[in-house]
Amino acid sequence: MEPLILEIITRDLHRYHALDKPEIRVGRALDNDVILSDATVAPHHLIIIQDASGAVEIRNLADTNPTRFEGKVENSFKTTRLPIKLQLGRITARLLSRGQAVPETKSLTGNGGTSHIFRHATWAVLLVLLCLFVAGLEYYLDSFNKLKWGELLEFILTETAARIAAFVLALSTLERLLVNRWEIIPVTVTVCLIFLVYHLLSPLTAELVYLFSSSVPLYLFNIGWYLVFIPLAIWLYLTKVTHLKMSKSILLSVFISSPFAIISIMQNPAIRSLFDDFSSSANYQKSLSALNWHISKTVSIETFIAQADNLDAGEFVD
């Protein structure tokens, strides 16, 4: 007779009980073989009996929240096929055989690599410092008065450091709720990477807007960033770093990124302009570039006036 395993499913680290007796009692009372401290579980909820032939019989003892066997309420359930899914109150459990295969081991260091940046504190610190440097550089490039170091430091601490810390705290708490673990380092690395990618793509997008004399790259960036890149980054993190299942990762990435997407849609003028039918402002091409790369040819005044003559009238909004 092969001993059975009772798997109690939790958010991440499931509990496993080896059932090494022919008759095992499960419930909330302390005289049970397997004790489940959940208020929805009866003091004596069920008995698992295994006979010499290997068949398993499970008897329900609970009047309140009776046991569900593979989703059905029955007083007794007998089978030789494992695993069996059980529902005891709000506790989900599985009865497994010892020979049940377990999923492939996920490497902490990625696909055999030795420098998985999501696991090393050094990488996290370096990336945080890089983020602060980028923020300081941006502050410098956007300041048009003599630089005051105190103000620069205040900006870095109150704007960038505080924001990164807030995101790390929020996402780490979320991960703690999801998988019962604090994952400060991978979350910090992820937040910093997203920050850096954003600050790399923003000026690139501005150059593209100037290059094509069109706002389309900006619209694509704004939409792509919040509706595609952020959910994708979270999904990758959840599948590759947290090792959640695909379906759960997709749902969670959409769930986590949707507030950012909604806020960005409500606040971003480029995105709002896609939904607003009317604007009393002239949304012309205001972008300017130090590189001055543009695909439009430079024309004479005569050509400009001749082409301007064909400028279509503005569209009325019904």
Partner 1 sequence: MRIIRAIWLIVLLGFLSESAQALETKAIFQMHQDTVLQIRVLNRETGKKSSIGSGFIIGDGRQVATNYHVISRIILEPELFYITYLGQNGREGELKLISLDIARDLALLESPTVLGEATKTSGLPPNGAPIYAMGNPLDLGLNIVVGTNGGILNQTDDSRILFSGSLNPGMSGGPTLNERGEVIGINVSTARNDISFVVPSRYLNSLLERAKTDPFEIDQDLKVEVTEQLLKYEKGYIKQVLDNKWPTIELRNLSLPGVISPTIRCWDNSAKLNATALYKRFQIRCANKNLVYLDSANKFVGNLVYEYFWLESDQMNSLRFNNLYEKLNKDQIDSHLDEDVVSNFNCDTWFVEISGQEFKTNLCRREYVEYQGLSDVLFTAALTGQKKQGFFITFIMTGVDFKSTLPLIKRFIEQIAWNP
Q: Which residues bind partner 1 (CB under 8 A)?
A: 140-146, 213, 277-290, 292, 294, 296-302, 304-305, 307-309, 311-317
Nearer to partner 1 among residue 40 and residue 214 (C-beta): 214
The region that residue 100 occupies, defined by phi over 0 for left and psi between -120 and 50 for alpha, beta otherwise, is: beta
How many other β-carbons are positioned within 10 Å of the β-carbon of residue 92?
A: 15
Nearer to partner 1 among residue 13 and residue 317 (C-beta): 317
Smallest distance from the beta carbon of 152 to partner 1, in angstroms?
Answer: 14
Smallest distance from the beta carbon of 276 to partner 1, in angstroms?
Answer: 10
- CB burial class (10 A; 0-12, 13-18, 19+) of residue 136? middle
Smallest distance from the beta carbon of 214 to partner 1, in angstroms?
Answer: 8
Smallest distance from the beta carbon of 286 to partner 1, in angstroms?
Answer: 5
Q: Helix, strand, or coil here: 279?
A: coil
Smallest distance from the beta carbon of 210 to partner 1, in angstroms?
Answer: 8
Contact 164, 195 (CB under 8 A): yes
Contact 237, 230 (CB under 8 A): no
Enumerate the β-bridge partners of residue 72. 69
Main-chain dihedrals φ then ψ at residue 75, nearest 5 degrees: -75, -30
* Residue type at 169 in one-letter notation: L
Smallest distance from the beta carbon of 186 to partner 1, in angstroms?
Answer: 34
**Length of the chain (residues):** 318
Nearer to partner 1 among residue 107 and residue 279 (C-beta): 279
Nearer to partner 1 among residue 13 and residue 147 (C-beta): 147
Q: Which two tokens stand for residue 246?
A: 């695909």
Nearer to partner 1 among residue 76 and residue 285 (C-beta): 285
Enumerate the β-bridge partners of residue 86. 69, 93
Nearer to partner 1 among residue 63 and residue 142 (C-beta): 142
